[in-house]
Amino acid sequence: YGGSVRHPRRSTYVTRVLYPGSFDPIHNGHLELIEVASRLFDSVVVATIGNPQKTTGLYSLHERRTMIEESVAHLPNVEVTSYSSLVVNLAREVGADFIVKGLRAVSDFGSELQQSQMNLAISGVHTVFIPSATEHSFVASKWIREIARFGGDVSSMVPAPVAARLAESFQEPPA
């Protein structure tokens, strides 16, 4: 793989991973994966990607990045960035040893495996898969947006800063 960086104060290696995604918006399934990755690896870079295949976005890259930063503030080894290019280019740029991807269900595995194999072929960067906990396996950003748009309560499925932002985004204008 891409190699590791020796930590200046330890004789062990520092492993840096990249967790890319649209995060529109970030939800508790994403947060769970970030928290697990922050325990498994020394450094985690969360990158909200401008994905041209997803044209139904609710929040701008800047807004998504801000919500992620607010949601991971309790994790000192996590940093957040945004990007609008190939994930493997960002992995090289941030010095990631691996790309981390979450799996909610068996149906996610096929497309994620193909993507990871393509990323490996063009960059040499491996992907590590982390399965989500059962309580988060059904959560998807598209459903969060839809439920919030129609006034449903998603506060149990998203971090507090995101719940507040969603409430703001879909509040009824004064009559």
Instruction: Look up 149 and say whether it is catalytic.
Output: no
Instruction: Look up 111 and say whether it is catalytic.
Output: no
Q: What angle do CA 109, 113, 45 make, to 5 degrees?
A: 95
Instruction: Look up 142 and say whether it is catalytic.
Output: no
List b or e across 26-38, with b for residues whose CB sees 16 or more CB atoms inside 10 angstroms.
Answer: bbbbbbbbbbbbb
Q: What single-letter DSSP state applies at residue 22?
A: -
Which of the following is catalytic: 6, 54, 142, 149? 54
Which of the following is catalytic: 16, 22, 27, 30? 30
User: Which residue in the block uniquely carries the two structure tokens 């799996």?
Assistant: 103
List b or e across 63-85, with b for residues whose CB sees 16 or more CB atoms inside 10 angstroms.
Answer: bbbbbbbbbbeebeebebbbbee
Which of the following is catalytic: 16, 65, 101, 104? 104
- Residue partners of 103: CB distance under 8 A and separation at least 6: 109, 112, 129, 130, 131, 132
- Determine the number of helices (DSSP H) and then strands (DSSP E) in the chain: 6, 7
Instruction: Look up 141 and say whether it is catalytic.
Output: yes
Identity of residue 104? R
Annotated catalytic residues are 30, 54, 104, 141
